[in-house]
A and B are shown apart, each in its own frame.
Chain A
């Protein structure tokens, strides 16, 4: 341990901790651009200069390690003058186009100007000019004029994705970030560049000009895109529907979680919000035999009655429940209570293959594109209760051994294709429950709207067994309910029917 004095306060810190981290732990943020805990400390922005007794010059706090007896000041007149001076140099060639810049409101230049700058400009020369809007990849727009050359993006692409699409070209004041020859910034983690860029040089093309950041609400959540379960923040804009093309979620941002995703998230997860408002279910419907909109109460009564009759007549072995790892832990529990304990269903399908699987890589992405298979496993789904293969289910339907199907948030048309309609028409009861209609929504007898992850609170257990809770960011669409409340409603009505019968 090293005992140092920081702004007159004695602080004990492990040997070798960078001064910038020591200060952060002590609640003092030293201005910085190039330093990023995950991307190293080249010390090129010179914003974090601090005064250390015994050193003739100011020292970059991101390079100097704490040593016993060090006396450090982050607020001496020399430090404050240096911070303002370095900031001024960062801004000499910066276009100051904040009114049209998406970074405005969360920009390092703006923040530090208000904190340590507040000087009067003495620039009377022209600014240099580079490319102002260069789409470098499907998700990222590069503005070379706004760049402060901190090289965070280059280091991210060199150290994290190891794809090296961006490089520093030119020298001195004509230096600029650009695409390496023949490359496109299309790696599966490219969206993170908009996060690591401390200024508006790399902006998210999907978020560009959609909504100002100060209109956004932030809700901590968990990405439901795969079984990694990255910690995220949902940035939503619900009070101004004329912004963001009417979409309720403006963007997803990774939330730092050293145990799961570090600082990052993948593009698949990041841009999944764009489909959140599409193809949504908001009404409780009976589609067959005659179409009618029902209240939840009526639907529960009717469905519990119909299912109850069939269960009594034809037996539980004729009912198959198709579910997915998209269910939260709370959903899985109610799911088990209804289908296993009460209805005594024996056949389930919850294997994510084929339509809920995809690319996997060592960084974050997992093969199973659903967040909570582990939560189901904890209740025996996958261990005691095995998932039936799709082929068996198909054969059983064709052979007439099955009378009913309860589908929870799975799209059967993506498994069976065009023959789905014909297969489902052979059944006496098909219930579809989920947030999105998909191809199966129209083929069911009953269609029950469920909430999406962003519209409910709950918890997921990721593939490593880590339990993470998420909060509700949005109101449900129409009268959609969380899956567990639908299961509970059916269960209550089922029990009441049995008591009465």
Chain B
């Protein structure tokens, strides 16, 4: 299997500069600094590198939307997004902990490519250990002349600053992240304008997931075509997955774009205890679940989207036959309710209301009209909110209601109530 960024993850001291350099680190930075910024952008364009944070936007296209330097000469920034908060996603945590220099190298190259003299990594507030590791790496790199003025003797200067989130999921969204960095409540901005035109403090800003950044040194070192060849025609390179749930070996796995779901499950040791697969959430809880019929689906952004779901940030959650999908749905909606920023009404009220309905159904007080009502509310939320979190509420609800209608219907009737009461009693140890 081709591995790009996890290749040396088993190296025990990879987080130290010396080890990272011994394994070929910062060579790409040196090479990049000898290239013209436009040449780097060209390689990235050839590589078909997609944003791995969830949206799957072409990295080169994102850079292309920056205003030309001669027209908007002021400062511009690059932000590494490490506010990984989606349930089921933990790959960035492992990544920055094991290979912080790889992220820094990517960040420096991207900064050089887009003409930024100041770069940031915004790391989730709860990632204390990862923040410490990253901070030590930044200090080490700065001492070695890799960050700061005249990097490696070139005319390029770039400073890297770490910022910690204050504990919100929504800060993972680029515009909310920028608000948080500016010291405000992290309420998403309503584009347009997009961050590449109006970003941090109003200056052009490129926000990339740290995994996307870490791909760039490899593209510079080996060429865009090499990278593109690893993946599918539209998605270059590899995808980093966090696999969790009912599998034998949960963990972070790197597979080429286009590898099948079955290959991913095999890598993770298959479904726990040999049970039957019920559903797979492919990209973190905000993506609708896939079913066993999708096992041979080659995973890339387009194919998964075509199935009505999304590759998201690669947070794969495997659910076996024991999972109660109404409970799963309640947990996801509960999470979104907790993390809804509260700015716009449909998301704030819709998430909380549907959560209460789901809780009522699960407590045995379901009403016959509940599934239809949930579906109706979902429709009033999706597509009507400022950011994608609100959309997610509706999309998730609709997907679970459609795919697992029978489970919802059972809870929405008096018979469902009895069944639920029995199940609760059994789970508390009663014998029938």
Which A residues lie at the B interface, using CB under 8 A? 42-46, 49, 57-58, 60, 63, 82, 85-86, 88-90, 92-93, 122-126, 128, 148-149, 168, 170-175
Instruction: Determine the interface band of chain B, counting residues with CB < 8 A from chain A.
Output: 20 to 34
Whole-angstrom distance between the Cβ of B379 and the nearest chain A Cβ: 7
Q: A63-B190, A92-B349 are in contact. Are A172 and B344 (CB under 8 A)?
A: no
Q: How far is the CA of A85 from the CA of B340 in the complex (A)?
A: 19
Q: Quick one: which of B358-372 are within 8 Å of A by CB?
A: 360, 367, 369
Q: Residues of A contacting B344 with CB < 8 Å?
A: 43-46
B81: Cβ under 8 A from any A Cβ? no
Contacts of B125 in A (CB 8 A): none
Q: Separation in Å of the B374 CB from the closest CB of chain A?
A: 10
Contact digits for B182-198, partner A, Cβ 8 Å, 1 yes 0 no: 00010000100000000
Query: B349 contacts which of A58, A90, A126 (Cβ < 8 Å)?
Result: A90
Could you tell me the distance in whole angstroms from the C-beta of A177 to the nearest C-beta in chain B?
11
- Contact of A86 with B345 in the complex, beta carbons under 8 Å: yes
With A57-B384, A89-B350 given, can you name 20 additional A-B contacts, CB distance below 8 Å? A44-B343, A45-B345, A46-B385, A58-B383, A60-B190, A63-B190, A82-B384, A85-B346, A85-B380, A86-B345, A93-B352, A125-B356, A125-B360, A126-B356, A149-B342, A171-B340, A171-B341, A172-B340, A172-B341, A173-B340
Asked whether B348 is an interface residue with its Cβ less than 8 Å from the other chain, the reply is yes
Write the nearest CB–CB distance from A61 to chain B, whole angstroms: 13
Chain B residues in the interface with A (C-beta under 8 A): 168, 185, 190, 337-346, 348-353, 356-357, 360, 367, 369, 373, 376-377, 379-381, 383-386
Instruction: Tell me if A92 and B380 are in contact (CB < 8 A).
Output: no
Which residue of chain A has its CB nearest to the CB of B336? A172
| Consensus secondary structure, chain A interface | loop
The answer to whether B351 and A172 touch across the interface, beta carbons within 8 angstroms, is yes
Chain B contact residues, majority secondary structure: helix
* Interface pair B356/A57, CB less than 8 Å apart: no
Contacts of B339 in A (CB 8 A): 171-172
Q: Would B384 and A168 count as touching, CB distance under 8 A?
A: no
Q: Of all chain B residues, which has the CB nearest A84? A: B380
State whether A175 and B342 are in contact (beta carbons under 8 Å apart), knowing that A82-B384, A86-B384, A89-B380 are contacts in the complex.
yes
Q: How far is the CA of A54 from the CA of B274 in the complex (A)?
A: 50
Q: Please indicate the chain B residues that have their CB under 8 angstroms from the CB of A174 in the complex.
A: 342
Provided the pairs A124-B367, A168-B185, A171-B168 are in contact, do residues A89 and B349 lie with their beta carbons within 8 angstroms?
yes
Q: Which A residues touch B386, using CB under 8 A?
A: 43-44, 46
Closest beta carbon of chain A to B414's beta carbon, Å: 15
Task: Give A307 to B56 CA distance when docked, in angstroms.
Answer: 93
Interface centre among A90, A125, A148, A170 (most CB of B within 10 A): A125
Provide the residues of chain B in CB contact with A43, threshold 8 Å: 190, 344, 386
Q: List 30 A-B contacts (CB under 8 A).
A: A44-B344, A44-B345, A46-B345, A46-B346, A46-B385, A57-B384, A85-B346, A86-B345, A88-B380, A89-B350, A89-B377, A90-B349, A93-B349, A122-B369, A123-B353, A124-B360, A124-B367, A126-B356, A170-B342, A171-B338, A171-B342, A172-B337, A172-B338, A172-B339, A172-B341, A172-B348, A173-B349, A173-B351, A173-B352, A175-B342
Q: Which of B339, B380, B381 has the most CB of A within 10 A?
A: B380
Known contacts A125-B353, A149-B348; is-contact A172 B342 (Cβ 8 Å): yes
Contacts of A126 in B (CB 8 A): 356
Minimum CB–CB distance from A50 to chain B (whole Å) comes to: 12
Query: Using Cβ atoms and an 8 Å threshold, which residues of chain A touch B353?
Result: 89, 92, 123, 125
Most A C-beta atoms less than 10 A away, residue of B185, B337, B349, B367: B349
B332 to chain A, nearest CB (A): 15
Are the CB atoms of B352 and A172 closer together than 8 Å? yes
- CB <8 Å contact, A148 and B345: yes
> With A85-B379, A171-B340 known to touch, is A46 a contact of B384 (CB < 8 Å)?
yes
B356 touches A82 (CB 8 A): no
Pick from A42, A46, A89 the residue with the most CB of B within 10 Å.
Answer: A89
| A-chain residues with CB within 8 Å of residue B376 when the two chains form the complex | 85, 122
Inside 8 A of B360's CB, which chain A residues have their CB?
A: 124-125
Instruction: Give every chain B residue within 8 A of A86 (Cβ-Cβ).
Output: 345-346, 380, 384
